[in-house]
A = this chain, B = another copy of it.
Amino acid sequence: MSVIGSGLTVDPATEELCVELGKLAIDAGFRVATGGLAGVMEASSRGARSSQLWNDGDVIGVLPGYQVQDANPYVDVAIPTGLGIARNVVVVAMADVVVAVGGGSGTLSEIAVSWQLDKPIVALSSTAGWAAKLAGELIDDKRSDPVVEARTAAEAVDQALKIVASQD
């Protein structure tokens, strides 16, 4: 699962949601990949690490620069790329399912790329920004499966599990 969302400081409610999302994702058997930086990326990585089922290697951070030190401290596998913003494509391309939290233009571009790459998308509608705006919507008419709405972290992981199960 790739979790996408703002790298800026998030409000306490969103942070809590991200921590729970990361934890429940690991509990459910997912790995958690992010862009490796702060904000939503850090909070979901921190949550992932807090799961009883966490194994070293489960938390992946795909960084825009070349410095492994840029990764937040909860990343197990830091992947510096030097690709700048184009690293967002990698964050999405490696996902079995993409979960969007809040989000500005960076998150919007990742949702759009997810759609292009035919990745299932779950959007947390309880957070502000593009995730909420696009929850339940079709991005364009090339796909018939909308962005799946989830109101809580638990719902998001449940939906992600259902999607992955339906693809096997």
Residues of A that sit less than 8 Å from B by CB = 31, 55-58, 60, 66, 68, 76-86, 89-90, 93-94, 96, 103-106, 108-109, 112-113, 115-117, 129-130, 139-142
B117–A66 CB distance below 8 A: yes
Residues of B near A115 (CB, < 8 A) are 105, 108
Within 8 Å by CB of A106, from B58, B85, B112, lies B112
- Cross-chain contact of A104 among B78, B84, B96, B140 (Cβ < 8 A): B140
- Return chain B residues, CB-CB under 8 Å to A113: 85, 105, 109
> When the two chains form their complex, are residues A81 and B104 in contact, meaning their CB atoms are under 8 A apart?
no
The number of times this chain is found in the oligomer is 4
Partner among B56, B58, B82 whose Cβ is within 8 Å of the Cβ of A86: B82
Flag if A77 contacts B60 (CB, 8 Å): yes
Question: In the complex, are the beta carbons of A81 and B66 less than 8 A apart?
Answer: no
Task: Report yes or no: A90 in contact with B79, Cβ–Cβ below 8 A.
Answer: yes
Judge whether B80 and A57 touch: CB under 8 Å.
Answer: no
- A74 CB, nearest partner CB in chain B, Å: 15
Question: Within the assembled complex, what's the spacing in Å between the Cα atoms of A76 and B105?
Answer: 31
Most chain B beta carbons < 10 A, residue from A60, A68, A93: A93
**Chain B residues with Cβ under 8 A from A57's Cβ?**
31, 55-58, 76-77
